[in-house]
């Protein structure tokens, strides 16, 4: 795979990721919005207005949302790593075998 093709695939993946996240978030928000506003019928026109506004706001906030997701992912990974270290240290201090990594003996 040459560099321009790899770049095009990354861009395509990024665009697909954007629309996948946006549609999922939009559907969740739309359901909640109309559920809590029973006076709105949820007609095609009302939903079209909601979607247009949501999509515009999402476009403006996309980079901030991505940074927040990356930050959350990093925090979760750091927490998992710290838990693994602390668990290993606690097992070592009490001579408890690590059953998650030991191989079965014959």
Predicted TM-score (pTM) of this structure: 0.53
Transcribe 66-88 into DSSP letters: HHHHHHHHHHHHHHHHHHHHHHH
- Nearest CA to 63 out of 93, 102, 18, 27 is that of 18
Give the residue with greater pLDDT, 7 vs 3: 7
In which residue are the tokens 């693994």 written?
A: 84
Report yes or no: 26 and 54 within 8 Å, Cβ to Cβ.
yes
Mean pLDDT, to the nearest integer, of 91-98? 76
pLDDT (0 to 100) of residue 102: 54
pLDDT (0 to 100) of residue 33: 93
pLDDT (0 to 100) of residue 91: 85
pLDDT (0 to 100) of residue 3: 55
- Nearest CA to 30 out of 15, 18, 44 is that of 44
pLDDT (0 to 100) of residue 69: 84
pLDDT (0 to 100) of residue 11: 66
pLDDT per position as a tens digit, 21-53: 899 999 999 999 999 988 888 889 999 999 999
pLDDT per position as a tens digit, 70-90: 899 999 999 999 999 999 888
């Amino acid at each position: 795979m040459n560099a321009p093709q790899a770049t095009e695939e990354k861009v395509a993946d990024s665009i697909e990721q954007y629309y996948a996240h946006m549609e999922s978030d939009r559907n969740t928000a739309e359901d909640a919005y109309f559920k809590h506003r029973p006076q709105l019928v949820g007609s095609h026109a009302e939903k079209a207005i909601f979607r247009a506004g949501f999509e515009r706001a999402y476009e403006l906030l996309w980079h901030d949302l991505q940074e927040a997701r990356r930050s959350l992912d990093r925090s979760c990974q750091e927490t998992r790593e710290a838990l693994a270290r602390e668990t290993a240290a606690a097992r070592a201090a009490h001579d408890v075998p690590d059953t998650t990594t030991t191989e079965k003996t014959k």
